[in-house]
Structure 1
Amino acid sequence: MSAETDLVKLYSDRILALATDIPHLVRLDTPDATVKRRAPLCGSTVTVDIALRDGKISQFGQDVKACALGQAAASIVGRAVIGTTREQIVSGRDGLKAMLKEDGPTPPAPFDGLEVLRPAKDYKNRHASILLTLDALSEAMDQVSQSDCG
């Protein structure tokens, strides 16, 4: 009964509200980079499109086919991503990973809203889905950096 109660707490009203209100669900027509990531354990997928101006994300689109936790993470990231740099994306991803895997501190701003997902740290099978959007964004930013160098 305790595990069931914990799972109910995990899917809080706040997480469910975020999952139903994901911004930037329209894909970009001419992105600078597109990345699709899949969580192998659950099959959740996220595709992100980014456009950059002066090293910062100026446009963002996403297609999210994930569990409520992955959707909530995509919602939080989607609200914060415009204007962010590669360093902020990587820092947010690494912070989220540490929060989930090591009960580390809340990810730094502008991704500090991901704190709402802290209860998922006890559900390792959900971590990959929660990390999808920031993993895809990190890879997309790397693609743009590599194309700028070549």
Structure 2
Amino acid sequence: MADADMMQLYSKRILALAADIPHLGPLPDAQGSAMKRSPQCGSTVTAHVRLKEGRIAGFGQEVRACALGQASAGVLGQAVLGASREDLARATEQLEKMLREEGPVPDAPFAGLEALIPARDYPNRHASILLAWQAAVDAIDACAEAADGARDARG
């Protein structure tokens, strides 16, 4: 990757998002957690959620990823509280399409993902960019599985 390409890809905005990730760390009273790993680069993100009435009331994330994955997690962390599973699944799909140049920037409140448009040209980075989003959706699904298991245990 040429130096000019690196400068465009790792803009000040991406580096700022990566340096200030909201809700960093585990969530002690999480109802569901999920870890996602990119086999391409080894990046991992673990998301922890607590739900109230089907929306995220508490969130934590453990991010071990490149600056692009960290920036993506930063955008997620800024707007995740109050989001539903459907909101995050839609944003994840929109992000995938944006990266493949098949769609626009995700809808608000996740429009900050436009900072990652320069990553379109680097498909080997897309998996890391998507990790936080996929982990958050899977963590919500884990809440439902835990609730179903508790109901089954009660009989």
Could you state the TM-score of these two structures normalised by the residue count of structure 2? 0.90
Match of 1:97? Answer: 96
Match of 1:118? Answer: 117
Q: Rg: which structure is higher?
A: 2
Q: Given the alignment of the two structures, is residue 70 of structure 1 paired with residue 60 of structure 2, yes or no?
A: no
**Which letter does structure 1 place at the counterpart of 2:113?**
L
Question: % of aligned pairs identical?
Answer: 52
Equivalent-residue separation in structure 1 for 2:26 and 2:7 (angstroms): 33
**Counterpart contact for 2:59–2:81, Cα < 8 Å:** yes
Match of 1:138? Answer: 137
5+ long unaligned stretches in structure 1: none
**Counterpart contact for 1:28–1:50, Cα < 8 Å:** yes
Question: How far has the Cα of 1:11 moved from its partner?
Answer: 0.4
More displaced, 107-116 or 57-66? 107-116
5+ long unaligned stretches in structure 2: 150-155
Match of 1:109? Answer: 108
Cα shift readout 1:26-79 (whole Å, capped 9, x = no counterpart): 311121110011111011110110000011000000110000000000011001
Match of 2:6? Answer: 7
Match of 1:33? Answer: 32
Aligned residues: 149
Could you state the TM-score of these two structures normalised by the residue count of structure 1? 0.93
Match of 1:53? Answer: 52
Q: For 2:81, what is the secondary structure of its paired residue?
A: coil
Match of 1:79? Answer: 78
